[in-house]
Amino acid sequence: MSTAPIKLLAAAALGAALTAAVLHFQPRPQQQHDQQAAPAAAQSARRVLYWYDPMKPDQHFEKPGKSPFMDMALLPRYADEGASDPGIAIDPGLQQTLGIALVTVERGTLEDDLRAVGTLVYDPRAVAVVQARANGFVERVYDHAPGDVLAAGAPLADLLIPEWAGAEREFIALLGTHDEALLAAARSRLALAGLPPALIRRIEETRTPRDTVTVTAPLAGAITALNVRAGMTVSAGQTLAEIAALDRVWLEAAVPETEGAGLAAGTPLEVRLRARPGEAIAARVESVLPAADATTRTLTLRAALPNPARTLRPGLLAEVTIRRPAGEHLLVPSNAVIRRGEENIVIVADDAGRLHPQLVTLGREAGERVAVEAGLEAGQRIVRSGQFLIDSEANLRGVLARLPQAREPHTGHTDHTP
């Protein structure tokens, strides 16, 4: 036979019993007049031990007032009731019928992976800026364009530098003196004028002045900027081209600022490119930029990816899994928590088997488990399923506890209808 009808009937029976208990405390109209004075006299004669919140009975207060935990009035605990919180008792057989299961609070680690979207970019630490070493004219520009990939030493442009001619002829004249001191000084003057060391050696070997120099790529990579045209005039320090190396690229990924805690250099990453499905690249965070994006409210992390085959192309999108460090926490099943707005409650079973509501502070959640930062201890037993029914009963207990206060005598019209 299916257990669903049994559970439904049992739950209905429990609810009916609680409803009957509430109705039992409601006075009949004809009894109200006779009962008005008795509760007040009884309440005034009873000694209050402390005041408490039914949803957090382990916290005691010396004076009545509003609960700091719930938006409800504190209840008195009288001396003749005993000092301990009775909790909620449910027959073990009924617990099994209703599917109420307990679980032990344990310490463990959460798999706290974070997913983000990133983009491959040129490594900004491996970018060469090619500049004119002296004032001159562009005689020739080689057949290149932005985006072209060049080898180291590939020619970019030929520059005519008229001001080098005089210094070169002076150096050639000194070569015949064999005076090493004078030659060393002349070489220094040529270098300060902007002549490359290779050109100085060539002039020394050929003893022929050369006022035209070929500007070459200082490293292998892609041209990211080319600002030179044939016939234009250039000045010393003017940027002619920029070249970015391709043997390593950077991954830049945006992470919400609310998820930035725990991110640091060395955090493991798994990178998957949409252009290369099925392939995962292992990497580590190299740095997390100190400033957040004011528009997207995200932090940017960077990771270096080796690219010996030059198959990782800047601009490609990447799906990034961030393996954040998993610290040790008190863990409970996510479905064991009763969530009430900003408050979170679990049902704790004491050594006597009675059930008590307990406010808890939650931490991070992963999968079907959530970390508890405060409110529980390792080894405690809590309700994993069926807690909503128990919570409903706890709320009715609070209603029952307040009924005597609602029946206190009052001035005004009293219904004497028999």
- The per-residue pLDDT for range 100-142, each reduced to its tens digit, is 788 888 888 777 788 899 999 999 999 999 999 899 999 999 9
**Same domain for 304 and 358:** no
Q: What is the mean pLDDT of residues 216-242?
A: 94
Q: Are residues 160 and 221 in the same domain?
A: yes
Same domain, 238 and 313: no
In a domain, 212, yes or no: yes
Do residue 9 and residue 101 come from a single domain?
yes
Residue with tokens 């029976």: 13
10 and 68 both lie in a single domain: yes
DSSP secondary-structure letter at 66?
B
Q: What is the pLDDT of residue 178?
A: 82
- Count other Cβ atoms within 10 Å, centred on residue 408: 10
Does some domain include residue 413? no
Q: Please tell me whether residues 156 and 194 are part of one structural domain.
A: yes
Helix axes 197-206, 164-175, angle to 10 degrees: 50
| More confident: 357 or 412 | 357
Amino acid identity for residue 375 in this structure: G
User: Looking at the domain assignment, is residue 414 inside a domain?
Assistant: no
Q: What CATH number does the domain containing 285 carry?
A: 2.40.30.170
Write out the two tokens for 197: 């060391």
Instruction: Pick the last residue of a domain from 276, 305, 323.
Output: 323
DSSP string of 302-344, one letter each residue: EEEEE-TTS-S-TT-EEEEEEE----EEEEEEGGGPEEETTEE
Residue 250 resides in a domain = yes
Domain that holds residue 219: 130-244
Please give the distance of CA 185 from its chain centroid, rounded to a whole number. Answer: 61
Is residue 264 in some structural domain? Answer: yes
Query: How many CB atoms neighbour CB 320 within 10 A?
Result: 23
List the structure tokens of 244. Answer: 């970015």
pLDDT in tens, 230-264: 999 999 999 999 999 999 999 999 999 888 777 88
The verdict on 99 and 117 lying in the same domain is no
pLDDT of residue 376: 86
State the pTM of this model: 0.55
Residue 415 covered by a domain: no
Same domain, 154 and 238: yes
Is residue 64 domain-shared with residue 43, that is, in the same domain?
yes
Query: Are 369 and 393 within one domain?
Result: yes
Residue that finishes a domain, picked among 244, 270, 302: 244
Asked whether residue 417 is domain-assigned, the answer is no
* pLDDT tens profile 390-401: 555 455 444 434
Out of 245-249, 291-295, 365-369, the most confident range is 245-249
Q: Could you tell me if residue 418 is inside a domain?
A: no
Counted domains in the chain: 3
**Residues 292, 350 within the same domain:** no
